[in-house]
Amino acid sequence: MTSSFVLDCAPFAFNVETSFSYVRDVAKCIYGNRFVESTEFEGYVDYNVSVLNTTGLRRMFKPQARFLSEGQEPFKPLDKSQGYALLEWGLNWVVATHEFSYVIVHSAVLAKGDKAVILPAPSGSGKSTLTAYLSHHGWRLLSDEMALISPATCRVTPFVRPVCLKNNAIELVKAWFPDVYLSPVAPKTHKGDIVHMQPSVYSVSASQEPAEVVGVVFPKYDPSCFLDIYQLDKAACFKGLTHNAFNHNLMGEVGVRTMLDIVEKSACFEIHYNDMNEVSAFLDEVVRGKVDV
């Protein structure tokens, strides 16, 4: 028995079919009014995906979740308890492999008003924890995972989805925001224990409003640093940005030009921090244009 629902998650709508009722329940809590029953959805569906029980007798004694998208199966199946995480990663995969209407950079995106900072960083740099914190301290979350940049502009389109928190960050975030919904823990994934945190109401309500990138900041959590700020030269920033880009090479010249433009027009920094309020204050200066570029 499977059921389907639509995640109407601008700028894309995904139709999700699942055989796990818990995946459906978690999606409903996380996406709130952007969760729509498939039968009631009247808009355009961009992608069909499914999270299904694995085939065969295995489902009886060791159920696994498989992610499928229109006949493709990009990942090996995971334990059933990781099914919701698999859905979120699957949606990232679908967008990163099919969408070329945006230059896509693996990064968090936060904004104040219509001015945004993108925070590209590899897994383990504390990016998501920082994103979770800032998105409840005056910043609008546009994305925790990918910056969707319109070609030949500095405009970033919000793609507001949950923030993926790992290991120690889970308890930390629970203590900071006891009222915010977190998905059940998906234990022992390749990233460790993970949960997905519901995006803030404010971020969702502004999810149709694009912003202009004015800063590119590479964050690194370092318990021994209060806040160290290093200004990056444009070449180093460009290198860091392309290192985190998904599709600029496939988009060719316009992809590279867009990244160059962003770097040219943005303030570029690397920060090492252990105090998130200080980071917030610094980023505030970046979006207000108070730092030298």
Partner 1 sequence: MFSANDIATLIVSPEHVETFSLTDWNELVFILRKEKMLARFYDILERAQLATCVPPEALRHFINARIVSRKQNELAKKEAAELSRALGNMADFVVFLKGVAYSVTDNAASLGRVYSDIDLLVPKETLVNVEQYLAVVGWKRKALEDYDEMYYRKWAHEIPPMQHGSRGTVLDIHHNLVPIISGRGIDTRAFVDEYSATHDGVSVLTESAMFFHSAIHLLFNEDMSSAFRDMTDLYLLSYSQPQEFYLDVLEITEKHGFKKECILAFHLLSIHFNIKLPLSVETSVNEELKNISICELKLLKRLTLPKHPLLADGELLFNQWLGEIRGHWMKMPLFVLTYHITIKSCRTIIQSIFGKHVFLKSDRDRL
Least distance to partner 1 from the beta carbon of 253, Å?
11
Q: Rounded to an integer, what distance in angstroms lies between the CA atom of residue 48 and that of residue 68?
A: 9
Q: Is 145 in the site for partner 1 (CB under 8 A)?
A: no
Contact stretch for partner 1 (CB under 8 A) within 156-164, 215-223, 246-254, 277-285? 246-254
Task: Indicate the residue among 102 and 269 with the shorter CB distance to partner 1.
Answer: 102
Q: Is 70 in the site for partner 1 (CB under 8 A)?
A: yes
Among 54, 125, 150, 280, binds partner 1 (CB under 8 A): 54
Among 58, 137, 243, 290, binds partner 1 (CB under 8 A): 58
Task: Indicate the residue among 113 and 122 with the shorter CB distance to partner 1.
Answer: 122
Q: Is 101 in the site for partner 1 (CB under 8 A)?
A: yes
Helix (H) or strand (E) holding 181: none
Q: Which residues contact 152 (CB under 8 A, 6 or more apart)?
A: 254, 257, 258, 261
Q: Which residues contact 190 (CB under 8 A, 6 or more apart)?
A: none
Q: Rounded to an integer, what distance in angstroms lies between the CA atom of residue 182 and that of residue 13?
A: 22
Q: Is 201 in the site for partner 1 (CB under 8 A)?
A: no
Q: Is 76 in the site for partner 1 (CB under 8 A)?
A: yes
Which 249-268 residues touch partner 1, going by CB under 8 A?
A: 250-252
Q: Is 83 in the site for partner 1 (CB under 8 A)?
A: no
The 3-state DSSP class for residue 288 equals coil
Q: Which residues contact 88 (CB under 8 A, 6 or more apart)?
A: 161, 162, 164, 196
The 3-state DSSP class for residue 20 equals coil
Least distance to partner 1 from the beta carbon of 248, Å?
12
Q: Rounded to an integer, what distance in angstroms lies between the CA atom of residue 84 and that of residue 37?
A: 18
Residues that bind partner 1 (CB under 8 A): 44-46, 48, 54-58, 64, 66, 70-71, 75-78, 89, 98-101, 189-191, 250-252
